[in-house]
Amino acid sequence: MAVTEAPSPTPALPPAAGPITLPEARGLSPFGMAMFVAADAAVLGGLLAALFALRAQAFVWPPREGARLGAYLPTMITLTVLLSAVSVQWAIWSIRRNDQRNCLFALGLTAFLGMAVLNGEWYQLAHLNFAIGHHPFDTFVYVLTGFHMAHALAGVVLLVAMLARTTTGEFSADDHDSLTATAIFWQFANLAWAAAYAVIWVKP
Amino acid sequence: VLGAVNLLATVVKLRAPGMTWTRVPMFTWSMFVSSAVLLLAVPSLVAGLILLFVEHHLGGRIFDAGADGDPLVWRTLFWFFAYPALWATVIPALGVVSEIVPVFARTRLFQRRMAAFAIAGAGALSFAGWGSELAGESGVPKVLFSVTSILLLGAVAQLLLLWLATLALPRRLPRLKPPLLQALGLVSVFGLGLVGMAVMEGAATGKLGHDSYFWVGAWHLILVGGATFGIVAALFYWAPKLWGRHLSAGLGGLQLLLLVVGVDLTFVPMLVLGGQGLHRRVTSFSASSLEPANLISTIGAYVLSLAVLLVLVNLLVSVKARRGRIAPDDPWEGHTLEWATSSPPPPHNFDFLPDVRSDRPLADLREAGPPAEPQPEAEAPEPTPAGVTA
């Protein structure tokens, strides 16, 4: 059996000098967003893995009956996405210098470019001349475009919210965690489009 | 996924001052590893579900073998999720036992850093083992996944040995209180499961292993032995802190006995059934030779259920009906900070910021404080063959 011992007294914590002052947790929301984006990237990875697996064993990939996929619109979307990737960084660089006006303009520009991208993708999906279920490749055109559209939509909502908060002067050079988190999410959305563009149009 | 993000961000960004990575409690560390695994494993299921939804409701075509699709894509995506997720349910139990064992052995966790690496290694390797579930693979992948699965089992087995070394090295009996007893229940069942898994991954891959009841038996010894015993041990250990009352030790003893017997009785016959060739996911069979083991397994399932019921009864009687012994703030002479606050703790946990200078801040204070009686120094463990074996 257990050796009997008189229980030693529970030590009391030494009293601290003064009340508790917790150090402010800097970078909490960017870190949380980075973790979320890691999981989101794994979803994208799963979709791409499925695509690569099917592509490797397919008899025809992509199905080519006639000129099915134009390259003009997706390339324009890609350029717009690239512009928005720069403009969202512009917003971050501005707020780091406490430059509210530039930050505001860059955020607005990014949100506008995001809406333009959404518009372009919607138009493209509406005008595809093949159905979603004709071939796995076709399904992936819809799925990967839709995956980016969902993220672009969420990103635009976030950007508009950040825009509203910037107009009230809430962010400063050393306090703009939410802005950084939004930028991280936006850059992931851009990456999702880059992946879709690469596997559908560049090297199908 | 969001729960995992929450936990990861809290552990990374909101630790108390002085709480360096090497001082994080083992249970916190195991939850951290488990959350990281889930964070990256669940998305694979999400991707599969997206494709399934698109195929079923939007008319997409992914899993249709007739049109350049492949139904096996689902199985691969699913097991890339499920294999790590199964281990993610067990890993917190490993953390619970890693907390309990040193407290009741009244010493440090033997090779604490190695134990932390073992838990992290199990988490990392869980991503390399998914292919072992896709029976019928051939050649290099089959061997590769066998090796990674066995490496994972090795990491967990090493942890088991470190616990046993922690209990054995002080050369005095550990305090055999209910939490430690439940933890030892985990060790007994888990050890059996590890052997079963090792046999399955090493020697009996393919038909005999993964496609048979052997798989069900071995996995469930790990899952039920690990997760259930982990939860029960954690309840016995932390109930005094959570609710200010001990769980009944008598009921706990009976339940421990029933749980060990129930788990072994339910899942060991399944190993035999697998050896006899019973396929996995079969609900009816005709061969009479399969009946005895199935009968024993069924009886075991009832015993197992009774044990789980006893846990609930214990909670209701001891905590809800307030019949349990009232617990002091630090009933076990714990090593970690939660035992320094009142039982149950106030919403803000501490009035003063704790001063963390080691992985066992409370044990430090106890040893440094004005001694009510001379405290024997925790003996520094000699290097022993146990480490080499591990």
**Predicted local distance difference test score (pLDDT) of residue B131:** 78
In chain B, what are the helix, strand and coil shares in percent, each to the nearest 5? 70, 0, 30
pLDDT bin (cut points 50, 70, 90) of residue B351 is confident
CB contacts, 8 Å: A57 with chain B: 68, 70
Distance from CA of B324 to the nearest CA of A (A): 20
Q: Do B44 and A46 touch (CB under 8 A)?
A: yes
Q: Which of B68-72, B105-109, B220-224, B315-319 is least confident? A: B68-72
Residue A9: CB partners within 8 Å, gap ≥ 6? B369, B372
**Predicted local distance difference test score (pLDDT) of residue B134:** 74
Distance CA(B55)–CA(B53), nearest Å, equals 5
Token code pair at residue A2: 């257990």
Please say whether the beta carbons of B159 and B90 come within 8 A.
no
Mean pLDDT of A133-161: 94
Name the residue among B17, B47, B350 with its Cβ closest to that of A47.
B47
Name the residue among B9, B40, B369 with its Cβ closest to that of A39.
B40
Question: Average per-residue pLDDT in chain A?
Answer: 87
Q: Do A50 and B47 touch (CB under 8 A)?
A: yes
Mean pLDDT of B113-136: 86
Find the Cα–Cα–Cα–Cα dihedral B58, B64, B66, B69, rounded to 10°.
Answer: 100
Residue B119: CB partners within 8 Å, gap ≥ 6? B26, B29, B30, B33, B91, B94, B95, B98, B155, B159
**Predicted local distance difference test score (pLDDT) of residue A46:** 95
Please say whether the beta carbons of B159 and B113 come within 8 A.
no
Complex confidence, ipTM: 0.85
Percent of chain A with pLDDT over 70: 85
Mean pLDDT of B336-352: 83
**Predicted local distance difference test score (pLDDT) of residue B379:** 44
Highest mean pLDDT among A9-23, B91-105, B328-342: B91-105
Distance from CA of A92 to the nearest CA of B (A): 22
One-character DSSP codes across B116-182? HHHHHHHHHHGGG-GGGGSTT--HHHHHHHHHHHHHHHHHHHHHHHHHHHHHHTTSS-----HHHHH
pLDDT bin (cut points 50, 70, 90) of residue B170 is confident
Distance from CA of A126 to the nearest CA of B (A): 15
Mean pLDDT of B63-89: 89
Please say whether the beta carbons of B131 and B145 come within 8 A.
yes
Neighbours of B53 (CB within 10 A): 12
Peptide bond preceding A7 in cis form (omega within 30 of 0): no
Q: What is the pLDDT of residues A86-113, one digit of tens each?
A: 999 999 999 999 999 999 999 999 999 9
Highest mean pLDDT among B156-165, B275-284, B360-369: B156-165
CB contacts, 8 Å: B351 with chain A: 20
Q: What is the pLDDT of residues A111-130, one digit of tens each?
A: 999 999 999 999 999 888 78
pLDDT bin (cut points 50, 70, 90) of residue B136 is low
Q: What is the pLDDT of residues B201-218, one digit of tens each?
A: 876 555 556 778 888 899
Distance CA(A114)–CA(A120), nearest Å, equals 10
Q: Do B73 and A54 touch (CB under 8 A)?
A: yes
Q: Which of A8-12, B13-17, B173-177, B256-260 is least confident? A: A8-12
Query: Can you give the length of chain B in residues?
Result: 390
Q: Do B14 and A28 touch (CB under 8 A)?
A: yes
What global pTM score does this model have? 0.86
pLDDT at A66 over 60: no
Q: Helix B112-125 crosses helix B26-57 at what angle (to 10 degrees)?
A: 10
Mean pLDDT of A15-22: 55
Distance CA(A137)–CA(A146), nearest Å, equals 14
pLDDT at B356 over 90: no
